[in-house]
Amino acid sequence: MIKYDYQNSIGFIINRIGKSLINVIDQELRRRFSITFGQWKVLIIIANGEGGLTQKDIADKLALEGPTLIPILDKLEKDGFLVRKMDIKDRRINRIHLTQKADVFLNDTIDCVAQIKKVCLNGLSESEITITKNTLEKMWHNLQGAFNLRFSLDDRSGSNSVHESDSNIYISTNGN
């Protein structure tokens, strides 16, 4: 039988850092803000949406099924972070908007995540970070092209995104 050195596999290494980063962010968000990483991602997606997003918009951006998203939205609404408003053009659709409470809250959580990112990137030069990001993006595009995947946290071609700098994460609605 052929032995596979999975510990030196690029996929294993990417998976290990991804899971570790999500785990640390989730622990810190729970400890400091009583919110999960999954709830935080939903808030970030809504914050980046213009004019409120539908449940389907949010589910698509996070590659979640609608039924998986409903309890997250219900919890965030109960906690006062979002409201559902009927779409003025189509009363069958609810648009989901952040509350003022969420706006202030998100600034603090984004600072928390930026601190974790700073620890994660400690000792790496800007050049190393740029090369790593570009390489991972190329790998992502390779998989997209070869396997017609539909998942994208920020649609990669859309105008809304979360931008990162050395110590902060900025929510932008103009793609810059």
Among 130-134, 142-146, 161-165, where is mean pLDDT lowest?
161-165
Domains of the chain: 6-172 (1.10.10.10)
- Mean pLDDT score, 45-56: 91
Q: Hey, is 17 helix, strand or coil?
A: helix
19 pLDDT more than 90? yes
Check residue 164 and give its pLDDT.
Answer: 45
- Which residue, 150, 137, 153, is CA-closest to 38? 153
Tokens representing 90? 């189509």
Distance between CA atoms of 29 and 120, rounded to whole angstroms? 16
Tokens representing 7? 């510990």
Average pLDDT, the chain: 86
- Mean pLDDT score, 33-59: 94
Distance between CA atoms of 162 and 117, rounded to whole angstroms? 14
**Which residues lie across from 170 on neighbouring strands?**
163
Q: Hey, is 175 helix, strand or coil?
A: coil
Distance between CA atoms of 91 and 128, rounded to whole angstroms? 49
pLDDT per residue as tens digits for the range 60-71: 999 888 899 999
Higher per-residue confidence, 27 vs 170: 27
Q: What is the DSSP letter of 7?
A: G
Distance between CA atoms of 22 and 28, rounded to whole angstroms? 10
